């Protein structure tokens, strides 16, 4: 007999896991959530929230906010008539301390949500032991748990490069990059993805000389081509040194820093000397330690749990959500899948449309998108119309002093249905939601063009882009 029995056991307490547990409990299931403690806690207590809350989405945004304020004070205040006597300085320990307080508040908040919704928290890593008629037996810490339904939400971990050992002091992944004790004079970043660009931006704003080395030939090849071109121009102007088509060679690490030999896109050998190095070359699913073979759980050669469109695995009553399955490794995607699975277990019609999951990079300017890029539509032979409006034509953007970027809308040439929206500019992460709602409901560019937008707001640029699809913008 197992020590405890539950209707639903969630393995993993990140965004996918804790949301799955809360929703399952709301639906009347006796629910538990198992989570080990891979993150440093000042009290030594188990921490919920996964990578996102502890060493990802939330702490990075706290540092991005602080560094943005610092850069504004240094370079933008004077132009608006604001004078700061004695100059501006940054206290890195205070900045890191504030970040940690935000993380502590949110992780403790999840414990409160578990208590409110009567979710049992089990401290320990969940590992399958066996499957039987009554459900699955899972080892959690020193006890065994039996559950009829199991939801796997164990997230992902940073991918490291062979020959470049990460100690999170000199050579860092996303964990160490959030906890520098001082501003490095020279910072190297391997990988020009979301994490690399965000962390590079944080420390560049605070005074680091940042060089980003990217293996792929095109900068931000995942983004719409116009957005990628604008982003490269803006980031270069800000001071980020970005090199694409790079092949990393020997890397030597000492107490003084890192020396990286590489070949540039033209085949020329070069070397980067830096005080610290951030390795941000993607993430891999956390499926190690699940003991999947004990129950015959299907895991592919990429370490992902194989699931169908509703996140159901090959085993009855076993589901997986978030970074351990196909699709973008995004916290909000994991949350939507979590709700879907809990509702399907309850016999309801859960829903998660992977085609409508927005992507965001929280640099300055922010970058956000949903749907197809222009190059994807061309490759698929889809006839489309495009509307593109710069923030420079918007009164609110000009008044706030940040008119960088544009909104680009792509719509079907035949039906006018919106196929993709791409934004680079201030508050892009918030503005993209209007596009997501419109597209989820099958909306056309004409629908957004006919909706009244408050004036003056940045959202008017979305409105103008919709009008521009039909070549009738009013303010550009």
Residues with catalytic function: 455
End-to-end CA distance of the chain: 71
DSSP 119: P
Phi/psi for 23 (5° steps) reads -65, -40
Question: How far apart (Å, rounded) are the C-alpha atoms in residues 159 and 282?
Answer: 6
The 10 Å Cβ neighbour count of residue 86 is 5
Distance (Å) of CA 105 to CA 47, 54, 366, 390: 11, 11, 25, 38
Question: How far apart (Å, rounded) are the C-alpha atoms in residues 97 and 92?
Answer: 8
Looking up tokens 């293996």, which residue turns up?
A: 215
CA geometry: angle 398, 403, 405, nearest 5 deg? 155
Contact predicate 213/243, CB 8 Å: yes
According to DSSP H, which parts of 10-49 are helical?
15-26
Residue 355, Cβ density class (10 Å: 0-12 exposed, 13-18 middle, ≥19 buried): exposed
Phi/psi for 272 (5° steps) reads -115, 120
CA geometry: angle 168, 173, 179, nearest 5 deg? 55
Residues in CB range of 92: below 8 A, 6 or more apart: 180, 181, 182, 183, 206
- The full 3-state SS of 173-239, as one line of letters, equals CHHHHCCCCCCCCEEEEECCCHHHHHHHHHHHHCCCEEEEECCCCCCCCCCCHHHHHHHHHHHHHHC
CA-closest candidate to residue 309, choices 340, 285, 330, 332 = 340
Residues in the chain: 476
CA geometry: angle 455, 457, 458, nearest 5 deg? 145
CA-closest candidate to residue 375, choices 194, 192, 226 = 226
Q: CA torsion, points 149, 155, 156, 157, in degrees to nearest 10?
A: -110
Phi/psi for 339 (5° steps) reads -65, -45
Residues in CB range of 332: below 8 A, 6 or more apart: 15, 357, 358
Helix (H) / strand (E) element for 101: namely: helix 92-117
């Amino acid at each position: 007999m197992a020590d405890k029995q539950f209707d639903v056991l969630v393995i993993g307490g990140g965004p996918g896991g804790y949301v799955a547990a809360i929703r399952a409990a709301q639906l009347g299931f006796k629910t538990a959530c198992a989570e080990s403690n891979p993150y440093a806690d000042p009290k030594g207590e188990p921490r919920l929230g996964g990578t996102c809350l502890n060493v990802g989405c939330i702490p990075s945004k706290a540092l991005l906010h602080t560094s943005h304020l610092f850069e504004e004070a240094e370079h933008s205040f004077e132009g608006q008539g604001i004078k700061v006597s004695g100059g501006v300085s940054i206290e890195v320990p205070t900045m890191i301390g504030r970040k940690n307080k935000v993380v502590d508040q949110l992780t403790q908040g999840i414990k409160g949500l578990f208590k409110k919704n009567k979710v049992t928290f089990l401290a320990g890593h969940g590992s399958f032991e066996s499957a039987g008629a009554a459900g699955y037996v899972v080892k959690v810490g020193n006890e065994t748990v039996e559950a009829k339904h199991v939801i796997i939400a164990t997230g992902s971990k940073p991918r490291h490069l062979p020959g470049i050992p990460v100690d999170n002091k000199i050579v860092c992944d996303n964990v160490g990059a959030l906890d520098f004790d001082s501003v490095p004079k020279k910072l190297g970043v391997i990988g020009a993805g979301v994490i690399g660009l965000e962390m590079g931006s944080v420390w560049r704003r605070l005074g680091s000389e940042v060089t980003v080395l990217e293996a792929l030939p095109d900068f931000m090849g995942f983004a719409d081509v116009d957005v990628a071109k604008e982003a490269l121009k803006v980031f270069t102007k800000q001071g980020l040194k970005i090199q694409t088509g790079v092949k990393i060679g020997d890397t030597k690490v000492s107490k003084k820093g890192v020396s990286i030999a590489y070949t540039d896109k033209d085949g020329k050998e070069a070397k980067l000397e830096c005080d610290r190095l951030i390795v941000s070359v993607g993430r891999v699913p956390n499926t190690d330690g699940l003991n999947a073979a004990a129950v015959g759980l299907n895991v592919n050669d990429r370490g992902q749990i194989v699931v169908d469109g509703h996140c159901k695995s090959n085993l009855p009553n076993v589901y997986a959500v978030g970074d351990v399955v196909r699709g973008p490794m995004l916290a909000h995607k994991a949350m939507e899948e979590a709700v879907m699975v809990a509702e399907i277990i309850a016999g309801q019609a859960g829903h998660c449309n992977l085609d409508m999951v927005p992507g965001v990079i929280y640099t300055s300017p922010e970058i956000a998108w949903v749907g197809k890029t222009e190059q994807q539509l061309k490759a698929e032979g889809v006839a489309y119309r495009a509307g593109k409006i710069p923030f420079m034509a918007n009164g609110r953007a000009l008044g706030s002093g940040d008119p960088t970027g544009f909104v680009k809308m792509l719509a079907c040439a035949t039906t006018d249905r919106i196929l993709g929206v791409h934004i680079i500019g201030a508050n892009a992460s918030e503005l993209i939601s209007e596009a997501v709602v419109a597209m989820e409901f099958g909306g056309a560019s004409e629908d957004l063009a006919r909706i009244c937008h408050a004036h003056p707001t940045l959202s008017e640029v979305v409105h103008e882009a919709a009008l521009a699809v039909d070549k009738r913008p009013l303010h550009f």
